[in-house]
A and B are shown apart, each in its own frame.
Chain A
Amino acid sequence: MLLRTKLFGKNYEFADIRVLMGKANEEKSGDRLAGLAADTTVERAAAKIVLGHVPLITLRQNPAVAYDQDEVTRVIDDGIDSAVYEQIKGWTVGELREFILDDRNDGERLLKISPGLTAEMIAAVTKIMSNMDLVTAARKIRVIRHCVNTIGEEGTLAGRLQPNHPTDSPEGIRASIYEGLSYGVGDAVIGINPADDSYSSVARLLDMSYEVIQAHKIPTQNCVLAHITTQMRCLEKGSPVGLMFQSISGSQKGNEAFGISVGLLDEAYALAKKNCYPLGPNFMYFETGQGSALSAEAHNGWDQLTLEARNYGLAKRYDPFMVNTVVGFIGPEYLYDTNQIHRAGLEDHFMGKMSGISMGCDVCYTNHAKTDQNASENLAVLLTAAGCNFFMGVPMADDSMLAYQSTSFHDIATLRATFRLHPAPEFAEWLESFGITNQSRFTSRAGDATIFLNRTSK
């Protein structure tokens, strides 16, 4: 294999696809930490040029981890639709980019070629796309899924209500749920990150959140983001579970670090289809994020963007209701500053959509990254323009348990108003009937958590 170009009179040669894929990435501190980043900006430009000439067939033949060594590779490769693949395998990555951006090819057309693409192909084309390419391409694709309600329809933007509490106090979490609902947030899911992963604590939070949903007849689903084995135990013992959650990784070794495998996920999915209370047919919720495989030393010498694409290839197997990247959570050694976090957010969102995933984003950062809340607000605007399915709603964006900053209830309400978007249709109807909105506009009750208390008359 010869992978070479001349640029400004100088030769740039890349040893193999792995090296080329690393050097073709936009600047990321995690790729540099892994020793995969381009040495110079011109070398990066050269890598992008060479990658643009690589045919898709070569990318299928060079997965990040070999087929016989990695079950994530097998899931993705075995899932390829051969009829579609045969039509496109001769295309170069550059041609794929132009097909995706061609204004005659709408979202439906893009979703028709999606089953012929491996994660490495989607990662490759993402590397040679600019930020606005990623926005406009993702904007074409609508992925609509149904659990209790419907997510992803044109003209909608949903919010995950994230009412975490440092010690899992059911009263404290309930208070944050009321606050979020009063801002019209919670249609994607009422999703609680538990501090304590034990069965009894998780079961208690499932019961509490389900009671709130039942008491106020809210058309949404609940979820407690414990380890999937804990949720399975809850489900087996009769707890009301709306969505089953798990963090996933782009390699078998990375998933082992999370204590999961394809076999375990298969089992959880079968159980969810059987025992989750909603109508479905989509019952799964996954979180991802660039750098997680590297931090577990499970990246097999590949760059963090390619590993991230493989998350979506794996997630697809379970036809999830929702998937989000937690884009700034991992810290500055993987995504250093605002530029890198923004780029990764746009990349992940596009790659998820291109994989046929109902894709959202936890637009967030930790306090040691070189960024701030203004930058998060910017990325939320960019992703809304890109047709993102949902964001996180955290009280004033400050998660009191996980000690990081995400997006707020106010942010979701503002983005809907600014872009003229609505909540999930069933949820929007409920907001009207509950008097939080009137003809889609906030009433004086909006933003008042006490309207959910029994002592208050409507």
Chain B
Amino acid sequence: MSDDHIDELIEAVLRQLKAEGLVASSSNLRSQADNSQTAGSHTHTNISADLVIDSDDPTTSMQRIIPGLENAADQDALVMLMETTTARIGVGRAGYRPKTKTLQLFQSDFAISQDALYREVDPVLLQKFDLFQVETMITEGKEQYLLRPDLGRKLSSEAMALIKSRCVKRANIQICVGDGLSATAIEVNIPKIMPVLISGCQSVGLSLGTPFFIHHCRVGVMNDIGDILEPDVVILLIGERPGLGRAESMSAYMAFQPRSGDTDADREVICNIFDNGGTNPLEAGAYAVQLAQTMMKNRGSGVKMRLSKDSER
């Protein structure tokens, strides 16, 4: 039987099997056939059996500072150049393309950003901090959330009713938590910032409203909260848009007596809240309490408050 004939026969059998749904694709069966032919090589099999791959985590800060370029004209100077910036330099090249390690680190960093964006905040965390959950006008999941920022800025009517029935009104400080664009940011920062916020407010005699969690949340939702609960200050802790390899960054948006129609110009923000390199969440919490006191003293926030501060000078 000629090779051509064999191939033809195999193809015919495959078509039959595929039609019956017994195999997925022709390549599978061919590679199985190839394996069975080479299975006699014991050495090959043994090497595979003994294979141990136990790769170091390439995302640690120690690994990240290792230059990809190994034969620089001045290798010490290359390390010094790399120390001046967080940009990905000194990476070297494979022809015109990045080296394998550099490419795979980039892909890993991208992956963690994506997972943070599409994941939901762990319900156990919400329970632990006694945060009941409400929804915005988003009803069709993450895709709609990304496409319709306007709907993420409004509470659903069920949310409004629930908040009215469960929350203390006219407190000094109303704390809210929103997923925003990163569930990870909320999960890593809330356990650290919440205790500081709560004890900080108590120690300076500020009354606290009933905190809750807003799913599919945009910053503008603060206006609805102000309209319903009328606190002096709303503090919204919300996940930021993930950067490459950095999904844990959170912002604290704050506004004095927010109402419908208010904009970012009426708000203050403490951004880049994360451990190791950003604004430490413990410090951010303490600063937020301080800022709340200033807002209450000035009876304003955002550009308005800054203008009044300027006129005092």
Contacts and interface: CB of A to CB of B under 8 A. Distances in A.
Interface of A: 29, 32-33, 163-166, 169, 171-176, 178-179, 183, 332-333, 336, 366-368, 370, 372-373, 394-398, 400, 403, 405, 408, 410, 413-414, 417, 442, 444-451, 453, 455-456
Contact of A453 (B71, B77, B88): B77
Contacts of A332: 146-147
B69 to A, nearest CB: 6
A333 to B, nearest CB: 6
A172 B87 contact: yes
Contacts, number: 131
A403 B87 contact: no
Contacts of A164: 87
Contact of B89 (A171, A179, A414, A456): A179
A450 B88 contact: no
Nearest to B81: A175
A397 B87 CA distance: 9
Interface in B41-96: 69, 71-75, 77-78, 81-82, 84-93, 96
Contacts of A413: 93, 96
B129 interface: no
A368 B89 contact: no
Interface stretch (B13-21, B186-194, B237-245, B253-261): B237-245
Nearest to B92: A447
Interface of B: 69, 71-75, 77-78, 81-82, 84-93, 96-98, 102, 106-107, 109-110, 113-114, 117, 146-150, 181, 241-244
Nearest to A447: B93
Given A176-B89, A449-B81, 10 more contacts: A33-B150, A169-B84, A174-B84, A336-B146, A397-B106, A398-B106, A446-B93, A449-B89, A450-B78, A453-B74
B146 A333 contact: yes
A172 B78 contact: no
Contact of B77 (A174, A397, A408, A456): A456
12 contacts: A165-B87, A172-B84, A367-B110, A367-B244, A368-B242, A396-B98, A397-B106, A400-B86, A413-B96, A447-B93, A448-B78, A453-B81
A172 B73 contact: no
Max chain B CB contacts within 10 Å: which of A165, A373, A448? A448
B248 to A, nearest CB: 13
A367 B117 contact: yes
A333 B73 contact: no
Max chain B CB contacts within 10 Å: which of A33, A179, A413? A179
A171 B84 CA distance: 6
Max chain B CB contacts within 10 Å: which of A172, A417, A449? A449
A33 B144 CA distance: 11
Given A336-B147, A368-B146, A447-B69, A410 B96 contact: yes
Contacts of A447: 69, 92-93
The 9 tightest CB contacts between A and B, nearest first, are: A172-B85, A396-B88, A179-B89, A175-B81, A414-B96, A395-B87, A450-B74, A172-B84, A403-B243
A408 B148 contact: no
Nearest to A174: B84
A410 B107 CA distance: 16
Given A410-B98, A442-B96, A456-B74, A373 B241 contact: no
A358 to B, nearest CB: 25
Contacts of B71: 444
Contacts of A446: 93
Contacts of B87: 163-165, 172, 175-176, 179, 394-396, 398, 400
Contacts of A175: 81-82, 84-85, 87, 89
A449 B90 CA distance: 7
A398 B241 CA distance: 15
Max chain A CB contacts within 10 Å: which of B92, B93, B181, B242? B93
B241 A368 contact: yes
Contacts of A336: 146-147
A257 to B, nearest CB: 13
A408 B98 contact: yes
B93 A367 contact: no
Given A175-B85, A367-B242, A396-B106, A333 B149 contact: yes
Nearest to A449: B81
B261 to A, nearest CB: 14
